[in-house]
Amino acid sequence: MIPVNSPLLAGNEAAYLNECLQSGWISSAGKYLERFEVELADYLGVKHAVAVSSGSAALEVALGCLGLNQGDEIIMPTFTIICCATAIIYNGGTPVLVDAEADTWCMNTAEVAKRITPRTRGIMAVHIYGHPVDMDPLYELAGQHDLTIIEDAAEGLGARYKGRPCGSLGDLSCLSFYANKVITTGEGGAVLTNNDALADKARSLRNLCFEPDRRFYHRSLGHNFRMTNMQAALGVAQLERIEAHIDKKLHIAEQYNEQLADLTDWLSLPVERPWAKNIYWMYGLVLKESLAVTAEEFSRELEKLGVQSRSFFLGMHEQPAMHQRGLFVGECYPVAERLARRGLYLPSGLAITDEQIAQVCKAVKNVLQEVTY
């Protein structure tokens, strides 16, 4: 089975981890934590990187920095992973949805303005599967309405918007370092900002809001969202090779683009807008309506041929857990619904070989032949 993702651990990961073990600095303090935060911030050109335990934790900390009141609204895409919405809900806010764009799969920024109300506090821009959101319209709205931009760049590290790196585009930006990301710490994430006060608040929220001069006295409630020194050691080793990882992602996409180019009567391939650099974090396909199969059915046929794949996100407005909270009932977002039913992504991990990519493409063609004849 060719897995949908395999991480690439080809640098100093083992050496740095062994140093942590030998030194005893294995928990949430140590030189690798400090080094990882500094080097990550430097790489993205921001003042502060606050390392946390996961990408989901990064989103929760970022939303926590806003001090939301009950009912305050954050506009976000329906087509994304559920932790984007839960981060808002857990901080007392209300997520407000917009549909996706049919080609980039990112949020349709043209729909954002009509969703702004007096309760709107921010806009969460989520880069989907490696393609950046069109940020300029969001900046304009944020300036007009005094809104905060929260950038979810978990799937966008290495991508660029008009030359600027994703992960540096928000008032608060969030990254994930899960094993399938461009760089990994196993689990882990980070909040990035140029705002000193927001960085201080993020550091406090990740560490139970201990008071600096009286440790076990708490004026606010926080979380234990700390990253360990061992995770950071992995991150430092991965950062040393990030340009090679980015090059490999682009090479994977180039191979898929070339080998699937003659299948566009049945498949829509990923795009790259003129203002964007797509990192192709996961290489996605959308089945055209001429195919009488769903993405889930297509995925099952690929698995029979030894290829693992994964269906696209199911929109937040179709999630039972949201309906149980009275959210999004009766709302309809047709592009996201189509993507959820017709979209899937292929093996895209950094450890994939050219031979495996060729096998995947052969399997895709074999399944297409079965379902079209």
- Among candidate residues 223, 239, 255, the one where a domain is terminated: 239
What's residue 76's pLDDT?
A: 99
Asked whether residue 362 is domain-assigned, the answer is: yes
pLDDT above 90 covers a percentage of the chain that reads 98
- Claim to verify: residue 170 and residue 204 sit in the same structural domain: yes
Of 294, 268, 299, nearest to 129 by C-alpha is 268
- The domain that holds 315 is classified in CATH as 3.90.1150.10
Give the range among 124-138, 166-180, 181-195, 206-220 with minimum mean pLDDT. Answer: 206-220
pTM: 0.97
- Claim to verify: residue 76 and residue 17 sit in the same structural domain: yes
Contact 154, 175 (CB under 8 A): yes
- Claim to verify: residue 42 and residue 55 sit in the same structural domain: yes
pLDDT above 90 for 212: no
What's residue 304's pLDDT?
A: 98
* pLDDT band, residue 100 (cuts 50/70/90): very high
pLDDT above 70 covers a percentage of the chain that reads 100
- Reading the block at residue 191, the tokens are 């909040």
Q: What mean pLDDT is predicted for residues 272-296? A: 97
Cβ neighbours for 82, distance < 8 A, ≥ 6 positions apart? 316, 319, 321
User: How close are the terminal C-alpha atoms of the chain, in Å?
Assistant: 26
What's residue 262's pLDDT?
A: 97
- Claim to verify: residue 44 and residue 109 sit in the same structural domain: yes
Q: What mean pLDDT is predicted for residues 189-201? A: 98
* pLDDT band, residue 372 (cuts 50/70/90): confident
Give helix 295-304 / helix 334-342 axis angle, nearest 10°. Answer: 20
- Claim to verify: residue 160 and residue 295 sit in the same structural domain: no
Backbone angles phi, psi at 287, to 5 degrees: -75, 130
- The domain that holds 53 is classified in CATH as 3.40.640.10
Instruction: Tell me the helix, strand and coil percentages in the chain, rounded to 5.
Output: 40, 20, 40
In angstroms, the CA 354 to CA 361 distance is 11
* pLDDT band, residue 213 (cuts 50/70/90): confident
The number of distinct structural domains making up the chain is 2
In terms of phi and psi (left: phi > 0; alpha: psi -120 to 50; beta: otherwise), the region of 280 is left
- Claim to verify: residue 233 and residue 313 sit in the same structural domain: no
- Among candidate residues 239, 255, 288, the one where a domain is terminated: 239
- Claim to verify: residue 149 and residue 252 sit in the same structural domain: no
- Reading the block at residue 123, the tokens are 């806009």
- Residue 71's Cβ-count burial label (10 Å; 0-12, 13-18, 19+) is exposed
- Reading the block at residue 205, the tokens are 């929220």
Q: What residue numbers bound the domain in which 217 lies?
A: 13-239
Of 350, 341, 338, nearest to 280 by C-alpha is 350
* pLDDT band, residue 176 (cuts 50/70/90): very high
Asked whether residue 8 is domain-assigned, the answer is: no
3-state secondary structure of 243: helix
- Claim to verify: residue 231 and residue 246 sit in the same structural domain: no
Q: What mean pLDDT is predicted for residues 348-352? A: 98
Q: What mean pLDDT is predicted for residues 102-130? A: 98
In angstroms, the CA 20 to CA 30 distance is 8
CB atoms within 10 A of CB 95: 22
Asked whether residue 225 is domain-assigned, the answer is: yes
Strand partners, 151: 125, 173
Asked whether residue 219 is domain-assigned, the answer is: yes
Contact 152, 174 (CB under 8 A): yes
Average pLDDT, rounded, for the chain: 97
The single residue listed with the structure tokens 């309809």 is 332
- Claim to verify: residue 117 and residue 185 sit in the same structural domain: yes
* pLDDT band, residue 69 (cuts 50/70/90): very high
Q: What mean pLDDT is predicted for residues 193-202? A: 98
What's residue 138's pLDDT?
A: 98
- Among candidate residues 206, 239, 272, the one where a domain is terminated: 239
- Claim to verify: residue 217 and residue 338 sit in the same structural domain: no
In angstroms, the CA 142 to CA 136 distance is 10
Asked whether residue 152 is domain-assigned, the answer is: yes
Give helix 55-64 / helix 83-90 axis angle, nearest 10°. Answer: 30
* pLDDT band, residue 18 (cuts 50/70/90): very high
Of 46, 72, 2, nearest to 164 by C-alpha is 46
Give helix 55-64 / helix 196-206 axis angle, nearest 10°. Answer: 120
Cβ neighbours for 244, distance < 8 A, ≥ 6 positions apart? none
Contact 1, 355 (CB under 8 A): no
Q: What mean pLDDT is predicted for residues 265-292? A: 97
- Claim to verify: residue 160 and residue 24 sit in the same structural domain: yes
